[in-house]
Amino acid sequence: MAWDRNSANYPRPVAQFDQTACWAAGLEWWLRCMRQTRAVSNQLNLVNQFVQYWNHNDDDPEYGTIDGNGLGHIMDDGRIRMDYVVKAHGSWDAAFVNSKLPLSPILIGYNETEVGGFHVNIIHSTNATGPDVNVMDPNGGRFRTRSHSNFATANYVLGWAR
């Protein structure tokens, strides 16, 4: 078994410790789900482990964030070991998402209007009754249901266990 899909056994949601750490908080939760095959690391350790991939320009409003390219490097790292794909703006492939969920939760990096830029959620299940997905959102550290249309306003990244 790659991960325990029983929602009663999910780790507690992880809230990002600052406005730029969504990727690290999301990865912490993903690693906790994958604890049978991955070493668990908290978001502060992840930020420090992957410091070379985030924006260090103090004058940039995006200071501390990572972009899709940096996220790809992190997902390639031997400690994370994710396969990933970049999906085109306006596209959504529910069958693809459903095919990857038996392997692991799915990290999604996308443009989020609520936070005004690139954001990470972790998809842990889909809803059979509609085009919605259930996610762990580090913005507030909560489980929530999102329409797939929230993710398709720009190109987005999906990542799952290799």
The 10s digit of each residue's pLDDT in 85-141 is 999 988 888 899 999 999 999 999 998 888 888 899 999 999 877 778 999 999 999
Collect all residues with Cβ–Cβ distance below 8 Å to 139 and sequence separation of at least 6.
15, 16, 22, 112, 114, 115, 119
Round the average pLDDT of the chain to a whole number and report it. Answer: 92
pLDDT-based confidence at residue 1 (cuts at 50, 70, 90): low
Claim: this prediction has a pTM higher than 0.75: yes
CATH topology for the 18-161 domain: Cathepsin B; Chain A (3.90.70)
> Per-domain residue ranges for the chain?
18-161
User: How many beta carbons lie within 10 A of that of residue 150, not counting itself?
Assistant: 19
- Stated as kind and residue range, the H or E segment containing 84 is strand 82-87
